Chain A
Amino acid sequence: MAELDTSGGGKHKGGKVRSKKASTRVDLTAMVDLAFLLITFFILTTTLQKPKAMDLTMPDKDDNHNQLPVPETRTMTVLLGKDNKIEWYMGLPQKPLTPPSVTNFGKAGIRESLIEQGKNVMAKSGKEMIVLIKPSDKSTYSDMVSMMDELNIVGNQQRAIVDISPMEVDLLKRDNIY
Chain B
Amino acid sequence: MPRAKVSRKSTAIDMTAMCDVAFLLLTFFILSAKPKVEDPIHADIPASTTIQALPESDFAQLLVAQGKVIFSVEGADVRLETLKGMADQYKINFTPEELKAFQGLDNVSVPIGVLKQYLNMTNQERAGVAKTGVQVDTTDNNELYWWVKNARKADKLVHNKELKIAIKGDSKEEYPTIAKIIKTLQKQKVNKFGLITSLKAATK
Binding site for B on A (CB under 8 A): 27-29, 31-32, 35-36, 38-39, 42-43, 45-47, 49-62, 80, 106-107, 135-146, 148-149, 152-153, 161, 163
Contacts and interface: CB of A to CB of B under 8 A. Distances in A.
7 contacts: A28-B16, A36-B22, A42-B29, A52-B53, A60-B191, A140-B174, A152-B48
In the complex, which range does the number of interface residues on chain B fall in?
35 or more
Given A28-B19, A153-B202, A144 B178 contact: yes
A48 B48 CA distance: 17
Contacts of A50: 53-54
Contacts of A141: 46, 64, 169-175, 177-178
Contacts of A58: 182, 186, 191-192
Interface string B15-38: 110110011011001101100100
A35 B26 contact: yes
A178 B25 CA distance: 55
A95 B196 CA distance: 37
B95 interface: no
Contacts of A80: 175
A84 B26 CA distance: 45
Given A53-B197, A107-B204, 20 more contacts: A28-B16, A32-B15, A42-B26, A42-B29, A50-B53, A52-B51, A52-B196, A53-B54, A54-B195, A54-B197, A55-B52, A56-B192, A56-B193, A56-B195, A60-B191, A137-B176, A140-B175, A141-B64, A145-B46, A149-B49
A142 B168 CA distance: 11
A51 B54 contact: yes
A140 B177 CA distance: 9
B180 to A, nearest CB: 11
> DSSP class of A's interface residues: helix, strand, loop or mixed?
mixed
Contacts of B170: 141
B203 interface: yes
Contacts of B171: 140-142, 145
A31 B19 contact: yes
Nearest to B29: A42
A67 to B, nearest CB: 14
A134 B199 CA distance: 24
Contacts of B54: 50-53
